[in-house]
Copies of this chain bind each other. A is one copy, B any other.
Amino acid sequence: MFEQLNQFFSPKAIAIIGATEREGAIGNVVVRNFRVSNYQGNVYPVNPRYEEVEGFFCYANVQDIKEKIDMAIIAVPSEHVELSVRDCVKQGIRNVLIFSSGFAEMDEAGVKKQDDLVAYCKQEGVRILGPNTLGMINVHEDLALMFQDVGYTVYKKGEVGLVAQSGATGSQVLSMASEEKVGFSYMVATGNQPDLDTIEVLDYYIQDEQTKVAAFYMEGVPSGKRFLSMAEKALEVNKPVVGIKSGRSTAGQKAALSHTASLTGSNEIFDVAAKKYGVTIVEGFEQLIDTLKIFQSGKRPRGNRVATVVVSGAVGILLADAIELNGLQMADLTQETKEKLRQQVASYCSVENPVDIASTFILNEQVFPHAAQTLVDAKEVDMIIIHLPVPTALDPTKFAKMFINIAKTTDKPIFVVPTGLESEMAGVRHYLTENNVPAYRHIEAAVQSAKSIHQYESTRQKHIDKPTTTSSKLSIMIDSNEHLIEENSVKEIMRNHGVPVPNSILVSNVEEISKLSGIAYPVVAKISSVDIAHKSDVGGVMLNIENKEKLKNAYHSILSNVRSSYPEAKIDGLFVEEMVTERFIEFFVGVQNDELFGPVLTCGLGGIFVEVLNDVSRKLGFVSKEEARQMIESLNGVAILKGTRTNVTYDIDALAEAISNISQIANSLEGDWEDFEINPLVVFEEGKGVLALDGLITLKSTSIPIS
C-alpha cells in the first residue's frame, strides 16, 4: 500500500487527461506549470483534439502511451470522469488524481456518481485523490499538480508534510509558511476524499522519510480509529502532528456543513482524542505556521522552565505574564547561574529571570550571546526566549548569527523575538528561522509555541516511559436483542470485574422473599425490566424498606404500579438491594461509545457539579488507575473529596480503582453498545471504599425503552 502511495506522491511519469491549449482552463494550467518547473519525470498530455499541449507531445488516448504511468490526472467534466478512469485501468494506471468537481459536493446525483466511481476503482485496485481537489505538490521534486499558478520559487523545501481538506487553505498555508521559512515535503488537498483522505495522507507522512512533521487542516474526521492509530504511530516515531480542526462552534459547524457537507463531530471528544497522543491543535493559520517553526527545528525541551533575556523591563514583565498564564514556568535561576551572569552584565542589570541586560548590548554586543549561553548551560532551564529589539544603528543579522551559533550547541529550544519595524525585522526573523532558531513577530507567539512543544514532548516522554495502557483482552458479551442491559446484569458484570456494588438479590415472586437470607435491612426494591430505563418515574422503586413484611408489601405495590402504567412491560422480578446508610459523596462515571473514537470515559462529582457546572474530566480509551487519579485531581470538585470545607476526606484511592475497572469493562464489551453509566457511584470516607448504586448499559437500537 505504501509502495502504491509512493507512486502517488513521487510519480516518475504522469498522464494528464483533459490537457488543453485553452488558456486558463484547468487542463491547461496544470500542464503549463511543468514548463517552469525542474520536475525530472515524464509528462504525457492526453486529448484527441491536440497534437501538442504547452510544448509537450499530446496523446489521443491514455492507452496510446506505451510507458509505465505512475499516476493520471483527470481534468475532464464530471460526466466523463469514469470513462477516463476506465481507460487508465486499461493502460495499467493505478493512481488517479481527479480535479473535476460535480460529485458528492454538488447534489444527490453527484453522490451516486462518486459512489459508483469509488466502487469501480476499489474493485480495480485504483487509488483516488479527489474528486473536487485543487491537487498536490511534491515540493522537493518541483512537482505541482495544481490547477492554479504555482510559485516554485516561493515554496520552501523542508520536512513538513501538509494535508488539507480545502485546497485553497493548503495552498495559502504553503505559501505563507514558506515565506516564514517553514519548509515542506508535500502539500496534498484531499477534496471530497472518498478514498485517500486527510488521515491516510498523514499516515503516509508518518512513514515517509522526507517528512518529519505532519500538518493538517480538517473539517470532518474521516475515521476516529485511524486518526488514533496514526497519532500513536507518529508519537512513537517522534514526528509531531499539528493542525487546525475547524467547525468548533455551532456557527462554524453550520458553515462546514454547507461547505463540504462535513459533519465536524464533537469537538470535546476530538480534543480529548488529539491530546491522548500529543496531537497539537492550533487556532488559525498564523498559529499553525508559528508552531511549525519550532516543530521543524527538531529541538525538544525536557521540561517547562523558561528563561528569558530582555533589554526592557516592561517586556520582561509581559513575558513573565505570558509564560505563567500559558501554564509554563519562569525558570528559577540557581545562585551559580546568577553569579555567572553577574560577571557578564553591567551591575545595574537584573540577573534574575527575566534577565534584563538593558541597553548594555549596544556598547558590548557580546553581552547578549554570553547571557544566552549561560542560560543554555543552566540545568534549571529548559527553554530560552530572547527578546531582540534592534536599534536601527546596529546590524540585527550579527545578533542573529550569534544565536544561531549557540543553538547549534544545544537541544534546548531557543526562541527569538526580533522587535522593531516589520520591514527591517522580517529578514532577521526569516534568517533565524531558516537556521533552526524559530523567530516570532511577538512574544505571545513565542510563548504559545513554547507551550506547544512542551506539551508534545511531555506527552511523548510519558508515552515512552509508560506506553498507553490498554485493557486486558477480556471480552464481555452483551445481549444485543434488547435496548438496554438490566441493572441486575450490569451490577453482576461490575461485581465480577472489581467495581463494588451493594449486596443484592433478584426475587421473582413473593415466596422467595420469605426465604430470603444474607441481606441486611434496610433495603431498596426496584423493578427489574429491560423495558424500563427510568424506574422511579413509573413507581418502580421503593427505598428504606425495613423488614421482610414491608418488602412483601413493596413487591405488590411496585408490580401493580408498573403493570398499571405499562401492562406490556417484560418483568424479571424485583431487584432487592442493601441500602447505604453511611456518609458518602455522589460521583458519576459514564462511558460513551463514540462513533468516531470508541469508548470515552467521563466522570465527575454528581448533582450540581455535573448538571450545573459541567465540572467533568474526559479520557479516551482505557483508563489506568493512575490516569483515573489524575482525572479526579483535575476536577474543581476534588476539593470536596479532599474535605476542603468539612475536614472529612473521601476514598479517592478506591474511587480511582473503580473508575479504572469501569473503563476496563467498557473496553471489553462486545456488542453494539452506546452508553455505560454508573450514577451514582458513591464514595465513602477514606479507607471505606466506593459502591456503584446504579448501573445501566444502553445499546444502539432504534427501539427505545418504554420509560
Q: Interface residues, chain A, CB within 8 Å of chain B?
A: 148-149, 151, 154, 164-166, 168-169, 172, 175-176, 179-180, 217, 219, 244, 246-252, 254-256, 258-260, 283-287, 311-325, 330, 350, 352, 354, 356, 389, 391-393, 419-423, 426, 441-444, 607-608, 611-613, 615, 636-637, 639-640, 644-645
Contacts and interface: CB of A to CB of B under 8 A. Distances in A.
Nearest to A644: B612
Contacts of A313: 166, 168, 255-256, 258-260
29 contacts: A149-B392, A166-B313, A169-B314, A172-B420, A175-B420, A179-B421, A179-B423, A219-B314, A246-B314, A246-B321, A247-B317, A249-B323, A251-B321, A252-B317, A252-B320, A252-B324, A255-B316, A255-B317, A255-B319, A255-B352, A256-B317, A259-B313, A259-B316, A284-B444, A285-B442, A286-B444, A423-B426, A612-B637, A613-B615
Contact of A611 (B392, B421, B423, B645): B645
Greatest chain B CB density within 10 A among A250, A254, A311 is at A254
A284 B608 CA distance: 38
Nearest 9 interchain pairs by C-beta: A259-B313, A166-B314, A249-B324, A252-B321, A168-B312, A251-B320, A252-B320, A246-B317, A169-B314
Contacts of A251: 320-321, 323-324, 330
Contact of A389 (B149, B172, B319, B644): B172
Contacts of A607: 645
B246 A284 contact: no
A608 B646 CA distance: 11
A254 B611 CA distance: 39
B317 A175 contact: no
Contacts of A312: 166, 168-169, 172
Given A175-B420, A176-B422, 7 more contacts: A149-B391, A166-B312, A219-B314, A251-B320, A252-B318, A423-B426, A608-B645
Contacts of A252: 317-318, 320-321, 324
A350 B258 contact: yes
B419 A426 contact: no
A287 B176 CA distance: 21
Greatest chain B CB density within 10 A among A217, A252, A426, A645 is at A252
A517 B95 CA distance: 98
Contacts of A420: 172, 175-176
Contacts of A330: 251
A316 B246 CA distance: 10
A173 to B, nearest CB: 10
Contacts of A354: 255
A319 B315 CA distance: 31
Contact of A443 (B149, B165, B284): B284
A677 to B, nearest CB: 18
Contact of A444 (B283, B325, B644): B283
B258 A318 contact: no
B389 A248 contact: no
Q: How many copies does the complex hold?
A: 2
Contact of A311 (B168, B175, B636, B637): B168
Contacts of A246: 314, 317-318, 321
B176 A325 contact: no
Contact of A612 (B151, B320, B639): B639
Contact of A168 (B164, B250, B286, B314): B314
Contacts of A248: 321, 325
A644 B608 CA distance: 9
A287 B318 CA distance: 13
Nearest to A284: B444
A259 to B, nearest CB: 3
A295 to B, nearest CB: 19
A320 B165 CA distance: 17
Nearest to A321: B252
B636 A314 contact: no
Contact of A314 (B217, B314, B421, B637): B217
A244 B444 CA distance: 13
B250 A324 contact: yes
A356 B389 CA distance: 41
B317 A441 contact: no
A375 to B, nearest CB: 16
A544 B615 CA distance: 36
B640 A608 contact: yes
B393 A175 contact: no
A159 to B, nearest CB: 21
Contacts of A154: 421
Contact of A284 (B166, B318, B645): B318
A251 B343 CA distance: 25
A120 B246 CA distance: 63
Contacts of A258: 313, 350, 352
